[in-house]
Amino acid sequence: MKTAYKAKKIFAENEVFNNAFLIVEDGKIVSIEKKYDGEYIDYSDKYIAPGLVDTHVHGYHNVDITDGEPGTLNIMSKGVLQMGVTSFLPTTLTSSYETLNNAVKVIGEEYKQVEGAKVQGIFMEGPFFTEEHKGAQNPAYMSDPSIEKLRHWQELSGGLIKKIAIAPERKGTVEFIKEAKKMGVYVALAHSDAGFDTAMDAVNAGANIFIHLYNGMRGLHHREPGMVGAALYSDAYAELICDGHHVHPAAAGIAMKTKGHDNILLITDCMMAGGMGEGKSKLGEFDVIVKDGQARLKNGSLAGSILDLIDGVKNVYDWNIADKKQAIDMASKNAAASVGIDDRCGILKDGRDADFIVLNEDLSLVETYLDGKSVYKA
């Protein structure tokens, strides 16, 4: 059955269509038309955009994917629909080898059965980090990178690992990056005190993403540009948590001006407290207090965020550091491209799954669609 949706604006891959129709049939996008004679669902005062893609999200609705509890992945996949997310990479934290074995195994067993947003791979945030900028990662489990461990995790997950983050100053990182790339795993840089040259060596070896830019890394100094300098200088992608707490709006704007919006991806780094309101929570093994839109450890350090991805999109537009198309692309098209899944999500295009969101003009979420079916209404 063919269904048409009329919108004030439709944000396609390389164009914004005004007063146009999205045509969907059997769960797939058929075309985007400027005229349509049949009946249609009327969103003529609203926008249609691709479903958002969160490539860095640990949990939501009081579940943490690292726990490896059966059913957790499904709860999370349904919960993130209210962020406007239709595809995501469930993200593990630095934990024991055994805990990570179980977590990736469970994801690999359950990802095809989820009822909500689609699992497009796994992101392993650690455990190959250093203590200096550990953030909410447990240094007890940190070590030099091991390609043997990555191969084992990839086997346990059924080939689902798409991305792993490491600290580039650890021993053997260049060799690890090259071998991981051969396996089809994208290597990111994070939780590191590496200097500029060391970080650039990792980029030159094939690392292509800096994790939550500015957070968990050596800052910029004019005589030693550090990890932040390498992120701004290189052509690699950089993640940003645009909740207004992790990164000042001006710092986010500097990154966008320096690197160009095409090299920025918006992520949530959301933890299990996401969607749960204020109160006590956990991030891995750490106790967390959620208050005033922030999640903090007992020592006052910021933990993972409780950001909804659509709010990050709205924020960068409201902060006047991105236009609407750029804001949407950073949380969909760019995010998907950063880990090579833009052939299946992040873009409204003929033949693709009809995974899209309906937005008000202020970019607040109205409705989320999966395969042409409405699955969440704000």
Among all residues, which ones are annotated catalytic? 269
What 3 state SS string does 198-222 have? Answer: HHHHHHHHCCCEECCCCCCECCCCC
Measured CA to CA, the distance from residue 151 to residue 360 in angstroms comes to 44
Q: What is the DSSP string of 38-73?
A: S--EEEEEEEEEEPEEEEEE-EETTEEGGG--TTHH
CA distances from 179 to 8, 147, 206, 237, 253 (A): 47, 7, 10, 20, 34
- Supply the DSSP string of 176-188, one letter for each residue: HHHHHHHTT-EEE
Q: Are 346 and 336 in contact (CB under 8 A)?
A: yes
Helix (H) or strand (E) segment spanning residue 102: helix 97-110
Quote the CA–CA distance of 294 and 281 in Å, as a whole number: 12
Bridge partners of 119, per DSSP, are 88
Distance (Å) of CA 154 to CA 164, 185, 187, 284: 11, 9, 14, 21
Q: Cα separation of 31 and 348, whole Å?
A: 9
Peptide bond into 127 cis (omega under 30): yes
Measure the CA–CA gap between 297 and 373, rounded to whole angstroms: 39
Rounded Cα–Cα distance for residues 192 and 253 (Å): 23
Strands 286-291 and 294-297, sheet pairing: antiparallel
E runs forming strands in 225-325: 237-240, 264-266, 279-283, 286-291, 294-297
- Residue 113 burial by Cβ neighbours in a 10 Å radius (0-12, 13-18, 19+): exposed
- Measure the CA–CA gap between 71 and 113, rounded to whole angstroms: 10
